[in-house]
Amino acid sequence: RMEASCLELALEGERLCKAGDCRAGVSFFEAAVQVGTEDLKTLSAIYSQLGNAYFYLHEYAKALEYHHHDLTLARTIGDLLGEAKASGNLGNTLKVLGNFEEAIVCCQRHLDISRELNDKVGEARALYNLGNVYHSKGKSVACAGTHEPGELPDDVKNALEKAANYYEENLTIVTELGDRAAQGRAFGNLGNTHYLLGNFRSAVVAHEQRLLIAKEFGDTSAERRAYSNLGNAYIFLGEFETASEYYKRTLQLARQLKDRAVEAQACYSLGNTYTLLQDYEKAIDYHLKHLVIAQELNDKIGEGRACWSLGNAYTALGNHDQAMHFAERHLEISREVGDRSGELTARLNLSDLQMVLGLSYSTNNSMMSENHVADNSLNGARPRAGRRHSMENMELMKLTPEKVQNWN
């Protein structure tokens, strides 16, 4: 009677997770564990599914706990295939938690057992997971630095090259197996690895394959991802027109999928691309669209970026009043979110603009500089006060490293 009850609860948990309700599924699985069972294979399956449910719910500490239970259990009962699966899941979880070295050990175990059992499907999946761990490892170090893709320290390069090799190995097997969906995933991540390595042509080739497969499956999300990644690669190939076409396709699909966050990202990318094309009117148009969505989603960091970009674009057009407005807003937001480098950039932009405005006009309604206002009220000589202030800023500019002018 107890046995049936544990099983019933677990079956309901499975049904709920399959239906996409992981939260409710978790409750049933945990109830099943509470009731308990003497059938250790059933218990192993429950632990595994609990781990995966928590993984999809982004509760990785819990996911780790249950995949660990599953691994211990699988080893205890000598279930080799079960051990391989638990190792793979544990590896994926450790990767997300940033524990790359242990993740590699687990994924390697998944690979070794799969080869031992001559399980080609398992082998391919383990290779894909290993590729993902090395990609994340490389990216985590690469993103901590300030270099552009292609300019990488040796350890980053090694990790990314390993990732590329694992994806290639995976592709050989899944191509033999005729598994198109798996090929699609491998091409996508291989493309991103080439992108980080600075092999932009190879990245394009891989993402084109990914696009083709996404279309075969009518997988709109994957299609959108491919367009976005193609856009990124074409930017670094210096082919901005082509990049803009791909970003426009991304935007179309983001709207079709009703994903506002992705729509905002596409607008931001388009704004930047038109900036590179020096079509500042279009850049402003897209950055404004991005700004509206960022505000709607209460994404302060996105809003700050939009204001910074808009400030630059208006400056390029010589519309210094609008530039000033957005630079001030950028400063406010940088302070609000505690972004120190953003704050410094905004201050520099503001002082630059103030210098130009101070020299061009005899009025200044900016709220930026208290010094400036104080100077005015004291001697009333706007242009001269402005000029003096500007010269100080000139000195500041000379002392400022180039990097501060760039996006960070």
Partner 1 sequence: QPLAARQAAELQSKVVPSKQILHSDNMEMEPETMETKSVTDYFSKLHMGSLVYSCTSKRKNK
Residues 178-217 that bind partner 1 (CB under 8 A): 182, 184-186, 188-189, 192, 195-196, 210
Contact 323, 311 (CB under 8 A): yes
48 versus 334: smaller Cβ distance to partner 1: 48
Kindly identify the residues of this chain, within the stretch 378-397, that bind partner 1 according to CB under 8 A: 390
> CA-based angle 359:360:364, to the nearest 5?
85
Total number of residues that touch partner 1 (CB under 8 A): 74
Among 315, 345, 364, 366, binds partner 1 (CB under 8 A): 315
Tokens of 224: 């959108």
Residue of 320, 330, 347, 389 that binds partner 1 (CB under 8 A): 320
Q: What tokens were used for 29?
A: 């699985």
Q: Least distance to partner 1 from the beta carbon of 102, Å?
A: 16
Least distance CB 243 / partner 1 (angstroms): 9
**How many of the other CB atoms lie within 10 Å of CB of 388?**
12
Closest to partner 1 by CB, 92 vs 334, is: 92
Q: Which residue has the tokens 């009703």?
A: 258
φ/ψ of residue 202, rounded to 5: -65, -35
Residues 324-343 that bind partner 1 (CB under 8 A): none
Sole window of 100-108, 273-281, 334-342, 372-380 interacting with partner 1 (rule: CB under 8 A): 273-281
Which residue in 199, 265, 345, 364 binds partner 1 (CB under 8 A)? 265
Name which of 62, 14, 10, 16 is nearest 37 in CA terms.
10
CB atoms within 10 A of CB 229: 23
Among 157, 162, 225, 249, binds partner 1 (CB under 8 A): 225
Kindly state the smallest distance separating residue 17's Cβ from partner 1, in Å: 10
Residues 35-64 that bind partner 1 (CB under 8 A): 39, 41-42, 44-46, 48-49, 52, 55
Contact flag: residue 86 with partner 1 (CB under 8 A): yes
* CB distance 266 to 254 below 8 Å: yes
Q: Is 84 in the site for partner 1 (CB under 8 A)?
A: yes
Residues 279-308 that bind partner 1 (CB under 8 A): 305
